[in-house]
Amino acid sequence: MTLESAVAGSWRDSANVARDKWRHPLQTLAFFGVNPQQTVIEITPAYGWYAEILAPLLKEHGHYIAAVISPDSAVKGSDKGYYGKQLKALQRKFDASAEIYGSPDVRLFAEAKPNFGEPASADLVLTFRNVHNWREANTVALMFKGIFEVLKPGGSLGLVEHRANGAVADDDGSGYIGQNQLIAWAAAAGFVLQAASEINANPADSKDHEGGVWSLPPGFSQGSKNRDKYAAIGESDRMTLRFLKPETASSVIRKN
C-alpha cells in the first residue's frame, strides 16, 4: 500500500475525510517522511484520525504503535475518564476492522513517566496537536526526552501544533504555543530542527478567540455563539515541524 492509497482509503470515517482540507494528511505525512517499511509511533492518537491512515499503511511491511496514556496514570484525576473513553474508542476501531488495520500495537504509558518502548527502536515518532496538553500537565521535558530515547539515531520526530502569534506564548489556556518556544523545548532534549512547513498554516486564525482554540471547528466549544464566524475561519493555524535525532545522539541524551 502507498501513502496515497492509504489517505484515499474507503474505510476512513467520512467525518474524518471532511477534515482533510484543514489537516492535509497526504502532504503532512509525506513531509514527515512516512513510508510503509517503518516502525512508527504515534503519541496519543486520540480517537484515531491519523491511525486510520497509518495502521493500514504499515500493516504489511512496517509497524504502527499507538502510544496511549494509561487512564489510571492521569496527572489530573478528572482526565481519567477522558483517557479511558479515547482508549476504548481506538481499540474498538481496530477490533472492528482487523482486515484493514491488522493488529496495531496499542502501548500504554504513564502520563508523568512516559516510556514509549525499547530505546532506539523507532524510525519515526508522530504527534498531532498534543504539546499544549503536555504543557498543561507539566510534562513537556519528560515527553520530549521519552521520544528522543525511543527513536533510532537518525530517526525523526514529526509534530503539528496550534501556533501562537508570538515566538513564546504564556500558558493562558488558549491552546496555542509559540513556534520558537516549541523548537527550544525539543532542542533541550537533543533534537535538531530539520525542516518547517506551512502546509497546515491558516492566516485567517486570529488566535484571540473566547474559549481559545477550541472555539474553532471541529470543537465549537462556544456552541451557537459566533459559530458562523468560527466556521468561516476553519481549523487553527498550525506549525508543522520535523526534528532529527542526530546519529551521535546516544552520547547527548539529556538526563532529568
pLDDT tens by residue, 126-135: 999 999 999 9
Give the whole-angstrom CA distance, residue 37 versus residue 15. 28
In this structure, what are the phi and psi dihedrals at residue 14, rounded to the nearest 5 degrees?
-60, -35
Over 80: is that where the pLDDT of 98 sits? yes
pLDDT band at 253 (very low <50, low <70, confident <90, very high): very low
> Which whole number is the average pLDDT over 74-94?
95
What percentage of the chain has pLDDT greater than the value 70? 97
Over 70: is that where the pLDDT of 157 sits? yes
Give the whole-angstrom CA distance, residue 80 versus residue 70. 8
What average pLDDT does the structure give for the chain?
94
Peptide bond connecting 218 to the previous residue in cis, omega within 30 degrees of 0? yes
pLDDT value for 128: 98
Give the whole-angstrom CA distance, residue 126 versus residue 20. 17
Report the C-alpha dihedral over residues 250, 182, 70, 121, rounded to 10 degrees.
-30
pLDDT value for 115: 98
> Which whole number is the average pLDDT over 229-235?
96
pLDDT band at 168 (very low <50, low <70, confident <90, very high): confident
